[in-house]
Amino acid sequence: MVCFRNTAGDLEVRAFIIEQDTAALADRKGRTRYDHQRYQVTVAEIEERTGLLFPETVAETNPLYYTPPADPDLRATIHHFPEAREVDDGHEVLGPDGTRTRVADDEVDVFIAAALVNPVGDERSGEWISILNLSTEPVDLAGWTLSDTRRPPRALAGVLGPGEAVRVQPVRPLMLANSRAGVIELYDGAGRRIDRVRYTEAQAKAEGRPAIFAYRETDAYRRPGGPGSA
């Protein structure tokens, strides 16, 4: 929990959680298996998980909501409660006037499968990102974009058939970090976030070896009627 006074002298609050799964906790090598994904969350969620109690003004000043707010205009911009968002860098922290992202990760079965973050030779032209369609329908990528959360997005095009993958190369104007951890996000034509992956510092420093994200446990394999279902 971070509490501070802004330049106007008003109290501001940001609340964060770092998740640790049960398997990693039970494994002596859990520290090496766990990727330290951080989430910005509500004060109420921290209270619920830890038993700690904070003054009401702390929860009121935190920009994330546990339940729908009274303001209908604000409520219309929030699509999941309680709110929680991945944070891998300071610029991703949501402030009082921040813009929320519509997340549709569980609605569209298109994924970032892999990325060559640190190619041998020319780094900018050698970088690539692979996108995989695990749905049963073709997906028109017109209007879709890739983002590294820092630079202008990389526009996509074409149609991706069921089970097909496409290699996006070069990735400019994106720049994949080859010496530190980084994030890649995929957005559809409506501006919804369809996927988000994080590569580690070790993966970024491995020259010529792609970071593989296709082994994630995805809802595409858990939903009735999805790939792999009976």
130, part of any domain: yes
The total domain count for the chain is: 2
Q: Walk across the sheet containing 211-212 and list its strands.
A: 165-168, 128-133, 110-116, 211-212
Using the 3D structure, point to which of 58, 92, 126 is the last residue of a domain: 92
Q: Are residues 85 and 114 in the same domain?
A: no
Q: What is the pLDDT of residues 137-154, one digit of tens each?
A: 999 999 999 999 999 999
177, part of any domain: yes
Residue 23 reports pLDDT greater than 80: no
The residue whose two tokens read 């929860």 is 59
CATH number at residue 135: 2.60.40
128, part of any domain: yes
Residue 22 reports pLDDT greater than 60: no
pLDDT of residue 20: 66
Q: Which residues contact 170 (CB under 8 A, 6 or more apart)?
A: 124, 125, 127, 128
pLDDT of residue 72: 93
Residue 229 reports pLDDT greater than 60: no
Answer yes or no: pTM beyond 0.85: no
| Closest to 9 (Cα-Cα) out of 69, 47, 61 | 61
104, part of any domain: no
